[in-house]
Structure 1
Amino acid sequence: MESELVSIVIPCYNQAQYLEQTVQSALASDYRPLEILIVNDGSKDNSLALAQKLSAENELIRVIDQKNSGVASARNKGISEAKGKYILPLDGDDLISENYISEAIQVVKTNPEVKVVYCQAVKFDEQRQKPWKLKPFSRNQLAKDNMIFVAALFRKMDWEEVGGFSEDMKMGREDWEFWIKMLKNGGEVVQLPFVGFFYRLTPGSKRKKTGTNQKKRERIAYLNAKHGDFFERELKGPLRFQRTWSKPYNTLLRLLGKL
């Protein structure tokens, strides 16, 4: 049976320092057929020139250039132009193992109920690496926190069905919201039993910038506005600032007749 094309979509904003290493890790994948789309999101460094050089050197690589519009927009642009049935987003400074895609494809091709396949992961910088302790997937757990990093494999048709990544979610963790809308009404999730994803810790990483209390409040308000039905079902009411306390707090308010 002929293998189906996988599209790796790499949004890049001022990540020239790491981009080639990321692309090389994608090219080292033992899965074929493969295409790599680098989406330059209005970088101010030499990311675009580097991406074009890499594309000229390898026919598997395509480059898309857009004005700075944010990572959700860059992912959507790349996925919209991807030719593959399956998509793997990979940020411009992260890495994957050579067997990650081939193992993930085996799962989705043999089980149509599976919507998302990811793996175990590590966080790393120049000095060290440490395991990324991800909680097991459940919809109830997904209502309180995200345990699926963005570099997971899914079908392009499922991305289309939910309208892609939400480009108006500017306060971070847009991948969490994407998984909520893709999975809240069904679909299985599989975590592969090996480390296949390497998340780079950098001084200016987006997770740090979006980790403030203000951003968290904006994020929770956004999620409640868009997915109130999901939180009602899983948490008996809205997601709260102290997320793990959402369900007991909502339950108490109901008992007191205040919700």
Structure 2
Amino acid sequence: MPSLLVSVVVPCYNQSKYLRETVENALKSTYRPIELLIINDGSKDDSLGIARKLAEEFPEVRVLDQPNGGVSVARNNGISNAKGEIILPLDGDDLIAPVYMEEAVKVLTTRQEVKVVYCQAVKFNEEGQKKWHLKPFSRHQLAKDNMIFSAAFIWKKDAEAVGGFSEDMKMGREDWEFWIKMLKNGGEVVQLPFVGFYYRLTTTSKRKRTGTIQKKRDRIDYLNKKHADFFERELNGPLRIQRTWSRPYNKLMKLLRLL
């Protein structure tokens, strides 16, 4: 039986400094066949030129160019144009271990109940690296916080079934909302027992730009509006600003209303 094609979807916005390293690193994967789609999201630097040169050098690489629309629009563009049945979203400055793809595909293709496969991870920059301590997956925990980074393996059909990444979510953590709608009604999640993902920390990292209190409030309001049923089931009510206290607070508020 031939191996399934994996499509690595690489959204890129002004990441010319790291794009070649990310692409060449992904192409060192022990798994084949693969294709790698670079989606240039209206970059103002030389990202598009570097992407096109990479496509000339490596037959597995394709380039899509779009006006700046944000990372969700870029990922969805890549997913819709992907030829593979399995998708790996990978940002244009991050890295993966050579065996990550091979081991993830083994799980997806042998366990039909599994929707998402990810791994252990580290955060790194020029000064060094540190372990990224991710909470164990559960739907209850997913209601309070995200523990799956975007560079996880999924089936293309599952991504399309939930409408891809929400393009109107502009306040960050769009991968969290994606996992909620992907997993809230079922599906197993597997974390591989090794470090396979390397998240690059930069001064312009989106996580820093979207970490303000106002962005957090906007994000929680958005999630509550879109997934009220999920939070009611897992937290006995809406997600709160103090997320870890959401369930006991909701329970208390319901008790008080009965008095």
TM-score interval, smaller chain: over 0.9
Counterpart-to-counterpart distance in 1, 2:254 and 2:160: 37
Q: CA deviation at 1:258?
A: 7.2
Q: What amino acid is the match of 2:192?
A: L
Matched, 1:161 2:164: no
Q: CA deviation at 1:250?
A: 0.1
Q: What amino acid is the match of 1:95?
A: L
Q: What amino acid is the match of 2:252?
A: L
Counterpart-to-counterpart distance in 2, 1:213 and 1:6: 38
Give the gaps of 5 or more residues in structure 1. none
Give the gaps of 5 or more residues in structure 2. none
Identity %: 71
Q: What amino acid is the match of 2:78?
A: G
Alignment of 1:204-215 (within 5 A): 204-215=204-215
Q: What amino acid is the match of 2:116?
A: V
Q: What amino acid is the match of 1:237?
A: G
Give 4+ residue runs of structure 1 displaced > 4 Å after superposition. Answer: none
Q: What amino acid is the match of 1:60?
A: E
CA 1:244–1:75 in 2, change beyond 3 Å: closer, same or farther? same
Partner of 2:119: 119
Deviations 1:32-66 (A, max 9, x none): 00000000000000000000000000110000000
Alignment of 1:5-84 (within 5 A): 5-84=5-84
Counterpart-to-counterpart distance in 2, 1:230 and 1:25: 38
Counterpart-to-counterpart distance in 2, 1:88 and 1:257: 46
Partner of 1:138: 138
- Aligned Cα root-mean-square deviation (Å): 0.9
What TM-score do the two structures reach when normalised by structure 2? 0.99
Counterpart-to-counterpart distance in 2, 1:41 and 1:2: 33
Counterpart-to-counterpart distance in 2, 1:37 and 1:79: 9
CA 1:258–1:9 in 2, change beyond 3 Å: closer, same or farther? farther
Q: What amino acid is the match of 2:34?
A: L
CA 1:258–1:209 in 2, change beyond 3 Å: closer, same or farther? farther
Alignment of 1:169-248 (within 5 A): 169-248=169-248
What TM-score do the two structures reach when normalised by structure 1? 0.99
Q: Does the residue aligned with 1:234 lie in a helix, a strand or coil?
A: helix
Counterpart-to-counterpart distance in 2, 1:24 and 1:138: 34
Q: Does the residue aligned with 1:88 lie in a helix, a strand or coil?
A: strand
Counterpart-to-counterpart distance in 2, 1:248 and 1:152: 31
Deviations 1:145-177 (A, max 9, x none): 000000000000000100000000000000000
Counterpart-to-counterpart distance in 2, 1:24 and 1:141: 35
Q: Does the residue aligned with 1:256 lie in a helix, a strand or coil?
A: helix
Q: What amino acid is the match of 2:129?
A: Q
Q: Does the residue aligned with 1:39 lie in a helix, a strand or coil?
A: strand
Deviations 1:89-119 (A, max 9, x none): 0000000000000000000111010000000
Counterpart-to-counterpart distance in 2, 1:50 and 1:196: 25
Q: CA deviation at 1:25?
A: 1.1
Counterpart-to-counterpart distance in 2, 1:156 and 1:91: 17
